[in-house]
Amino acid sequence: MTIEAAPLHLAELGNNKLPRGSAFSAPVKDWWIVVADGDKTTSQQPAWEILAKNAVEPNVFYEPWMFLPAMRTYDTDKALNCVFVYRRNPRPKQPPLLCGFFPFESRRTIKGLPVASLRLWDYPYSSLCTPLVHRDWTRETLHHLFEWVIGEARYALVDLPKIHGEGPFHHALLDVMRERRMLSFVEESHTRALLRRCLDAESYGAAAMSHLSRKEWRRQRKRLGEQGTLETRILGPGADVDAWIEQFLHLEASGWKGKEKTALALSDADRAFFQSIAHNAYARGRLHMIGLFLDDRPIALKCNFLAGDGGYTFKIAFDESYAKYSPGVQLELDNIADVHRRPALQWLDSCGIPEHFMINRLWKEKRVIQRVLVATSRWSGNGVLGLLPMLRALRRMCFS
């Protein structure tokens, strides 16, 4: 694959637009940047797929098979600019290496303050915005990204919402900001439940859940089994994936999400998006669906998407007419057991809210999620980051 390096046209930046199809030659000429949108983004897919497999931290929500359907569905104003950081392949006669993928939106204000910023795209149903960065070139990629933002794109702030607040990407980000003497501000930080596999499911349950809770759930399971033929099913190769998708959409819409008009099936765009990514994931062996069936009818279904040695919970649905038997909990216990039967699966991110009652009772570990603002050493960016802690303190004083 060859990348044509067109010259920058910085006149476009007056409208907070990034130069399209552009290249940036850093001090080390082996690196360059391509900015693309729409069809130009799709053309990057082969290198993008390779990057996802070699990312320092996986992020299923930014992989092309999920991201491109999201872009077609939710980038309705076509304001998205996808930044691809390339480097020359150190192996002779090999194609360039894609080392970073950063989907940015241009913003004119932040917290009501007039300052131009680039913000990682947080699209509907995306639970993580950690960019895909090559594990062998993490710090170098971040250096070249910030060099470009400062020298060519000329934005004052880089806004990184919903990034993993621990791990190798965050460590590299901290190192690069220190080396470049860049100011940063953690605008928001919280934890959400994480499942990390134990020796076996029984050991995990004993460590994560109280004895009384497990006893009560066993009692409910027995009573639920008395209502008919109860079985746990897992989507496998050669299964009717369309049937699983439609059953999930119907079950979710039949509950409180249907009443509140937030179910996937109630929006043509959301339904098409879910169908597309579920089919894409299934074709790649990345769709993990598990269900609890009573007399051949699903009463609880869960959808996870796998990436690297882990996975991300996307949605769970259950039949509320069986609420006294806790079908959602019963299915989650089955899900924990299934994770422990898969040696390649080391963890699952709940992608849930911090105070999620059910999952916090069942999963014993946490993952830190942060929104980090980074100033690019321009006076306006540094000034805003200086003001934000004071504004936060004033808000808490006024509304506490």
Residue 299 is assigned to a structural domain of this protein: yes
Same domain membership, residue 239 and residue 114: no
- Which SS3 state, helix, strand or coil, does residue 177 take? helix
Residue among 328, 353, 310, 332 at smallest CA distance from 192:
353
Q: Which pTM was predicted?
A: 0.90
Same domain membership, residue 42 and residue 186: yes
Same domain membership, residue 244 and residue 142: no
Residue 213 is assigned to a structural domain of this protein: yes
Q: How many residues does the chain have?
A: 400
Instruction: Show the tokens assigned to 40.
Output: 């130009």
**What pLDDT does 393 receive?**
67
AA letter at 196: R
β-strands 157-164, 113-120 pairing: parallel
Same domain membership, residue 223 and residue 158: no
CA distances from 280 to 121, 130, 141, 175 (A): 21, 21, 28, 36
Residue 173 is assigned to a structural domain of this protein: yes
CA distances from 101 to 134, 157, 198 (A): 9, 18, 33
Which CATH number fits the domain that encloses residue 262? 3.40.630.30
Please check whether residue 377 is in contact with residue 182, taking contact to mean a CB–CB distance below 8 angstroms: yes
Residue 266 is assigned to a structural domain of this protein: yes
**What pLDDT does 5 receive?**
33
Same domain membership, residue 151 and residue 78: yes
Instruction: Show the tokens assigned to 380.
Output: 């306006």
Same domain membership, residue 140 and residue 263: no
**What pLDDT does 11 receive?**
26
**What pLDDT does 389 receive?**
75
Q: 121 is in which domain, residue-wise?
A: 10-190+368-399
**What pLDDT does 158 receive?**
95
Place of tokens 């339904």: 271
Residue 321 is assigned to a structural domain of this protein: yes
**What pLDDT does 3 receive?**
34
Same domain membership, residue 387 and residue 314: no
Same domain membership, residue 246 and residue 281: yes
DSSP 340: T
Same domain membership, residue 46 and residue 67: yes
Residue 299: count other Cβ atoms within 10 Å of its Cβ: 25
Same domain membership, residue 334 and residue 384: no
Which helix or strand (DSSP H or E) is residue 158 part of? strand 157-164
What is the Cα–Cα distance from 55 to 33, expressed in whole angstroms? Answer: 18
Residue 361 is assigned to a structural domain of this protein: no
Residue among 3, 21, 33 at smallest CA distance from 151:
33
Please check whether residue 354 is in contact with residue 140, taking contact to mean a CB–CB distance below 8 angstroms: no
Residue 343: count other Cβ atoms within 10 Å of its Cβ: 8
**What pLDDT does 219 receive?**
97
As a whole number of Å, the CA-based R_g of the chain is 23
Same domain membership, residue 209 and residue 317: yes
Residue 33: count other Cβ atoms within 10 Å of its Cβ: 27
Burial class (CB in 10 A: 0-12, 13-18, 19+), 113: middle
Same domain membership, residue 93 and residue 146: yes
What domain count does the chain have? 2
**What pLDDT does 301 receive?**
98
AA letter at 108: R
- Which SS3 state, helix, strand or coil, does residue 343 take? coil
What is the Cα–Cα distance from 289 to 276, expressed in whole angstroms? Answer: 15
Please check whether residue 252 is in contact with residue 265, taking contact to mean a CB–CB distance below 8 angstroms: yes
Q: Which residues of the chain have pLDDT under 50?
A: 1-17, 19-28
Residue 352 is assigned to a structural domain of this protein: no
Those residues whose C-beta lies under 8 Å from the C-beta of residue 262, and which sit 6 or more positions away, are none
Please check whether residue 26 is in contact with residue 147, taking contact to mean a CB–CB distance below 8 angstroms: yes
Residue 360 is assigned to a structural domain of this protein: no
Please check whether residue 70 is in contact with residue 273, taking contact to mean a CB–CB distance below 8 angstroms: yes
